[in-house]
Amino acid sequence: MLSPTINDALNKQINEELFSAYLYLAMSAKADNMGLSGFANWFKFQYQEELAHADRFFNYILERGGDVALDAIGKPEVGDPSPLELFEKGLAHENHITHCIFKLKDLAKSESDHATDVLLDWFVNEQVEEEASTQAIIDQLRLVKDNPSGLFLIDRQLADRKPESESEA
């Protein structure tokens, strides 16, 4: 059984993950409008990953006999960024999510909720991966600066991103 405090914190994290999905969906549309279909593809898969993260918390709350309470999802503000700024915004957002996960870990530990603590280990590792993959793209974009050929090559590379289930097949 989840404590009301943990239950509430996990519901808030569902909202954070759904907002993340919404943000990446907006970024995908923005990239598509720039003619960068590979970037759009990468953000679209990121959107799907965030939905899966929300689902993982959703299922866990129910599995532990808790109550799922869904709140309104905020409006994602993407503005009019360059490709580099899009990814920098993505990384800043992932830094925020990492902070949320760390706070949740602290809470689970303070309540001796070992099951939630173990669930969150998966998310700690996932955040390391997400920040690293976003940072790698930022590094490449900084290297090519505004060079159209370089941008084109990165776009082709990002077009190859597949859902994990397909890449393992």
Interface residue list for ligand FEO (CB under 6 A): 17, 20, 50, 53, 94, 97, 130
Name residues whose C-beta falls within 8 Å of residue 11's C-beta, 6 or more positions apart in sequence.
61, 67, 68, 69, 70, 71
State which residue, 102 or 152, has the beta carbon closest to ligand FEO: 102
Contact between 19 and 97 (Cβ < 8 Å):
no
State which residue, 2 or 120, has the beta carbon closest to ligand FEO: 120
> In angstroms, what is the minimal distance from the CB of 32 to ligand FEO?
20
State which residue, 17 or 151, has the beta carbon closest to ligand FEO: 17
> In angstroms, what is the minimal distance from the CB of 52 to ligand FEO?
8
> Which structure tokens are listed for 130?
């997400």
> In angstroms, what is the minimal distance from the CB of 35 to ligand FEO?
25
Rounded distance between C-alpha atoms, residue 5 and residue 10, angstroms: 9
Q: Nearest to ligand FEO by Cβ — which residue?
A: 53
Rounded distance between C-alpha atoms, residue 50 and residue 161, angstroms: 15
